Amino acid sequence: MLPERFMELAQQVDEVFFIIGIAILVIEIAEAWFKGSLKGKTWLEMLASASTQVPYILVEASMMTALYVGLYVFSDTVVSWHLPTTWPWIVVAILLADLTYYWEHRIAHRVRLLWTQHAVHHSSRDYNIVTAIRFGPLESLWSFIAHIPMVLVGFSPDVVLGSVVLVLAYQTWLHTELIGKLGPLEWILNTPSHHRVHHGCDDKYIDKNYAGILIIWDRLFGSFQVEEERPRYGLTTDFDSQNPVKVWFSELPALWRDITRAKSGRELFGRLFGPPGWKP
């Protein structure tokens, strides 16, 4: 059936981007070696990024697997209307998944509770291909919730999940400084140049370029910023640890401190759902 074929195709594309990522990693290491900039801290930073896959995969294999099984059951038993599973509708689904990712991503930057997970991806002072797999343990939970409306309007869970895989797989190659600007493609596609801006903590780069595949969403919704000088990567705070546990849970201690000290329900709500840095 076409949904299963599409899901298989999405997984194959994911594997292709994984191979591209490995090739970029080899080139990045070789370049740093020849420049004499490959230091112990660089290795520790990459290992810290890779270590985030441990809690992330554990969550994916347990809670997220159960949730997606539930989504299939929900689609079969509750959603009585289903859109045609044809290639034109699959293209529509990919576009919608890309737009959903834009807003999911943007909201994750503006809601502190969600930011505690997404901040893990932004916390490295280095910017290399390993950053692409640096995730918060529960980050995929918000992504799951954000894509439920696509099932409600009638898309097959296979089509939704395959579209999400494609949007995420595409972004692997964006996490590198090896690739410069790409001419006319910069107007349509998210590129390494655009995504470097997104990881910058300079004032003019903060909360810009949320796109997954198409940069047109940022241009349409006023969050686009062209790369000018090289960004300073990482968080606006002084977080610069390579301790895996601190990387996994970097934002949670401060959140716990603030919510336990909240003096009112309004303050508690603001601490949880206001933007990072919100104060009463």
Task: Read off the pTM.
Answer: 0.93
State pLDDT tens for residues 128-176: 999 999 999 999 999 999 999 999 999 999 999 999 999 999 999 999 9
Residue 37 or 184, more confident: 184
Terminal CA-CA length for the chain: 54
Distance between CA atoms of residues 28 and 50, nearest Å: 16
Q: Is 151 left (phi over 0), alpha (psi -120 to 50) or beta?
A: alpha
* Placement of tokens 């329900």 in the chain: 265
Q: Mark 83-104 as b/e (b = at least 16 C-beta within 10 Å).
A: eebeeebbeebbebbbbbbbeb
Question: Does residue 112 contact residue 255 with C-beta atoms inside 8 Å?
Answer: yes
The pLDDT assigned to 5 comes to 84
Residue 189 three-state SS: strand
Residue 109 has pLDDT above 90, yes or no: yes
The whole-number average pLDDT for the span 86-100 is 96
Label residue 245 by pLDDT band (50, 70, 90).
confident
Lowest mean pLDDT among 58-67, 112-121, 179-188: 58-67
Label residue 195 by pLDDT band (50, 70, 90).
very high
Domain regions of the chain by residue span: 2-273
Residue 240 has pLDDT above 80, yes or no: no
Distance between CA atoms of residues 73 and 102, nearest Å: 27
Residue 228 has pLDDT above 90, yes or no: yes
Of 160, 152, 122, 163, which is closest to residue 139 (Cα–Cα)?
122
pLDDT > 70 in the chain, percent: 99
Residue 45 has pLDDT above 90, yes or no: no
Q: What angle do CA 226, 110, 118 make, to 5 degrees?
A: 85
